[in-house]
Amino acid sequence: MENLFTEIETNEELALQLGLSSDEYYMILKLLGRKPTYTELGIFSVMWSEHCSYKNSIKMLKTLPRSGPQLLVSAGEENAGAVDIGNGYAICFKIESHNHPSAVEPFQGAATGVGGILRDIFSMGARPIAVLNSLRFGNLRDEKTKFLFKGVVSGISHYGNCFGVPTVGGEVYFEECYTDNPLVNVMAVGIVRTDRIAFARAKGFGNPVCIVGSSTGRDGIHGASLLASKEFCEEMMDMRPTVQVGDPFAEKLLLEATLELIRAGIVVGIQDMGAAGISCSTSEMSSRGRVGMSINLDLVPLREPNMTPYEIMLSESQERMLFVFDKNRLNEAIDICKKWDVPITKIGEVTDCGFLHIWKNNRKVCEIRADNLVLGGDAPQYDPLAKEPQYIHEKQNFDMSTLNIDDIDLKEAFLKLISSPNIVSKRWVYEQYDFQVRTNTIKNIGDAAVLRLKEIPNKGIALSTDCNSRYVYLNPYRGAVIAVAESARNVACVGARPLAITNCLNFGNPNNPEVYWTFKQAVIGIGDACRYFETPVTGGNVSFHNESSAYAIYPTPIIGMLGVIDDVSKICSLEFKEVDDLIYLVGANRVELGGSEFLKQVFGLVAGDAPFVDLEEEKKLHKFLYESIQQGILNSAHDCSEGGLAICLAEKSIYSDGIGFKINLDSKPSAGILFGESQGRVVVTISKEKKGIFETICKDLKVPFKLLGKTQKECIEIDGAFTFEIKEVMDIYFTRIEKELS
């Protein structure tokens, strides 16, 4: 081995400054048999960071169901998951976080979150057709929250609209625990022919390694290791240079060039340069292909002068891809990139030694075996201590009788819930998104977004993102099961069959035993629910360290669900359709107020246990919804979730054309019946003449059902509880967010 050039003498103290532990530094010494160069230490620091190596989570993630006949690539092994939907096509989809960058610089943090997840999709050879987002912020009345909220939404809309992909759905919640750590989780979806899926692995000794896309600058250096992999603190506000800067127009050109390169059959391997930049893409592609790479950093196009090898290797500049091309067809690649005005530069070639050899100024600055750096190789894997938090028993055993809930004014309680920022319309958000670009969107408001697939006549997909983090906070296992169950229920409500999930697991510091216990329980819950529903996990993201000195977020495992629709002419929406339709509650009704929006808005409490969930009941409900929608029995269907039955009914009126309801319950209305959040329930409407066939299918499938009442004009009424004109409720529902932000 020849002598390596280093700019700075490395030692344990420097390793600690770069986010490595003492033990990890000595692991590096053992693997290399020498001290690392400064560039090598930087590469280890980003590749062994929490964000890139999943060192505190991978052992639990491996327990998830990550295989199934519908999966075309192994979960976590490629840029995104790929699910076979038949007819020779696959859907690629994935969800990732950009939480810490968005806390530091909300516009660019959110914008580059969209850009990064889109590149994961089209690097698979798939054309992006949809984006969804799941957002969490602090109290909406807080000025800091308003600043972050406006910046994040603006960043998402800017990138998606300019790139030309519709943002078709998602969710927005407000809770004090997200004050310092907003959650910005973005899910992207694309479609690809199964014979054109591209893979993130290098092969073929002597094949050229090329950067395609934008030049490399100093933005994003240590975004993975020092920003995304540690707790948020005031000093992080000085880390704005670690947040990448996005250019959606450059990414649009990169998309078209990438898809044409893949169609031409000249691409051997491809990977997005996201977290850890060139360090990540070179090492991971080499390790997957069981090869090495020789890279000359003098050839990397730079947009800033005098960049060091360390800076070039760690830069997270956006809109860049690393390609390995067939060495006999490089000129074809150059011609295609020239056609799209996308820069392409050969920076090295594939070798047969398994090492990364990195050169700068004719000096070797790095010589590391690729397997030393990556997940599945020598990157550390830990088993953090786990301890059940004391608060869980205290919260679950809270005595509800001390609240005198029976004395609550139901009309006043309804008004508090219908005006809650967690329930009201997010029109202010989605009106900033172009949800109709590419004209695939059939429905974007309701339980799930529905898109037609122009490539397959009549076929469509349904998409949903879900998680009630209060439930997970109170009961991590059950709350995670509910997140999967609700996402499946939502796609079923529009007439889709749940097919597979992606997840984004947002938690606090994994070195806190109580935090790690909630993480483990949540992962077990997700796994159990996915196995039961036969919806494997295609991949996703883990985001730890979402806490500050003042706040720790609720454990928030976001579930992104994909459902398939065989005939898009047979879908269902949430709103009432006709006056005098019959209104039914389908599913078991239990009186459960634990973790409810009612407790939060009326009493300011997050207490009790998460609602009971029965996976067998849920699965029967999915089958009922699919079959009854296919047969054209249902006129509408809407999931009962936050706010319970009363809010579910109100939303069905709000989104209809002035159609209300009149409900007569068997017993005196109570807060538990109206606002309880029992799982496994939907409210549906049918025409009177279909009453017989509807009740027969419910009985045949052994699904509980109850006739609640019927629809009527202009008025919403629950006998013994309250009466409102629809317009009065709509005014509250559609204007709350705007009023708070004005």
Q: pLDDT tens, 310-353?
A: 999 999 999 999 999 999 999 999 999 999 999 999 999 999 99
- Say what the pLDDT of residue 6 is: 75
Query: What tokens does 299 get?
Result: 């050839």
Query: What tokens does 355 get?
Result: 């090492």
Query: What tokens does 290 get?
Result: 């069981």
Give phi and psi for 316, each to the nearest 5. Answer: -115, 35
User: What distance in Å separates the CA atoms of residue 129 and residue 191, rounded to the nearest whole number?
Assistant: 7
Q: Three-class SS of residue 461?
A: strand
- Say what the pLDDT of residue 227 is: 55
CB 77 within 8 A of CB 163: no
User: What distance in Å separates the CA atoms of residue 669 and residue 470, rounded to the nearest whole number?
Assistant: 25
Q: Which of 323, 345, 372 is the last residue of a domain?
A: 372
Q: What is the DSSP string of 487-507?
A: HHHHHHHTT-EEEEEEEEEE-
Instruction: Return the bridge partners of 368, or none.
Output: 356
In a domain, 561, yes or no: no
- Say what the pLDDT of residue 12 is: 93
Q: What is the DSSP letter of 21?
A: -
Task: Find the helix packing angle between 330-339 and 248-263, rounded to 10°.
Answer: 140
User: What distance in Å separates the CA atoms of residue 446 and residue 158, rounded to the nearest whole number?
Assistant: 23
User: What distance in Å separates the CA atoms of residue 696 and residue 700, rounded to the nearest whole number?
Assistant: 6
Q: Which of 372, 406, 434 is the last residue of a domain?
A: 372
Instruction: Return the bridge partners of 208, or none.
Output: 349
User: What distance in Å separates the CA atoms of residue 351 and residue 483, rounded to the nearest whole number?
Assistant: 45
User: What distance in Å separates the CA atoms of residue 424 and residue 732, rounded to the nearest whole number?
Assistant: 8
Let me know if 100 is a catalytic residue: no
Task: Find the helix packing angle between 143-163 and 106-122, rounded to 10°.
Answer: 30
User: What distance in Å separates the CA atoms of residue 307 and residue 317, rounded to the nearest whole number?
Assistant: 13
Query: What tokens does 327 get?
Result: 């060495």
User: What distance in Å separates the CA atoms of residue 266 and residue 348, rounded to the nearest whole number?
Assistant: 17
User: What distance in Å separates the CA atoms of residue 649 and residue 639, rounded to the nearest whole number?
Assistant: 10
In a domain, 335, yes or no: yes
CATH of the domain at 592: 3.90.650.10
Q: Three-class SS of residue 96?
A: strand
In a domain, 237, yes or no: yes
User: What distance in Å separates the CA atoms of residue 449 and residue 441, rounded to the nearest whole number?
Assistant: 8
Structural domain count of the chain: 2
User: What is the number of other CB atoms lying within 10 angstroms of the CB of residue 566?
Assistant: 16
In a domain, 16, yes or no: yes
pLDDT in tens, 604-650: 999 999 999 999 999 999 999 999 999 999 999 999 999 999 999 99
Diameter over CA atoms, the chain:
86
Q: What would the 3-class secondary structure string for 403-459 be?
A: HCHHHCCHHHHHHHHHCCCCCCCCHHHHCCCCCCHHHCEEECCCCCEEEECCCCCCC
Domain extent for 608: 573-742
- AA letter at 329: R
In a domain, 285, yes or no: yes
Q: 171, 175, 106, 172: which is closest to 141 by C-alpha?
A: 175
First-residue to last-residue Cα distance in the chain: 65
Instruction: Return the bridge partners of 464, or none.
Output: 561
Q: What is the DSSP string of 347-406?
A: EEEEESSSEEEEEETTEEEEEEEGGGTSTTTTS----------HHHHHHHT--GGGG-GG
- AA letter at 451: L
Handedness of CA 219, 223, 224, 226 (dihedral sign): positive
Instruction: Return the bridge partners of 183, or none.
Output: 136
User: Which residue among the candidates 51, 158, 622, 638 is catalytic per the annotation?
Assistant: 51
In a domain, 586, yes or no: yes
CB 517 within 8 A of CB 384: no
Distances (CA, A) of 93 to 80, 104, 494, 566: 6, 27, 20, 19
- Say what the pLDDT of residue 198 is: 96
| Residue 391 CA, distance from chain mean position | 28
- Say what the pLDDT of residue 243 is: 73
- AA letter at 295: I
CB 649 within 8 A of CB 683: yes
Q: How many helices (H) and strands (E) does the chain have?
A: 24, 25
Q: 447, 506, 454: which is closest to 641 by C-alpha?
A: 447
Residues of the chain with pLDDT under 50: 1, 225, 228-229, 236-237, 239-240
> Using alpha carbons only, what angle is made at residue 279 by residues 273 and 280, rounded to the nearest 5 degrees?
55
Distances (CA, A) of 705 to 579, 675, 695: 21, 18, 8
CB 316 within 8 A of CB 280: no
* Beta pairing, strands 682-686 & 636-639: antiparallel
Q: Which of 357, 372, 387 is the last residue of a domain?
A: 372
- Say what the pLDDT of residue 275 is: 84
User: Which residue among the candidates 98, 158, 622, 638 is catalytic per the annotation?
Assistant: 98
In a domain, 417, yes or no: no
Its pTM stands at 0.95
Q: 196, 193, 200, 201: which is closest to 84 by C-alpha?
A: 193
In a domain, 677, yes or no: yes
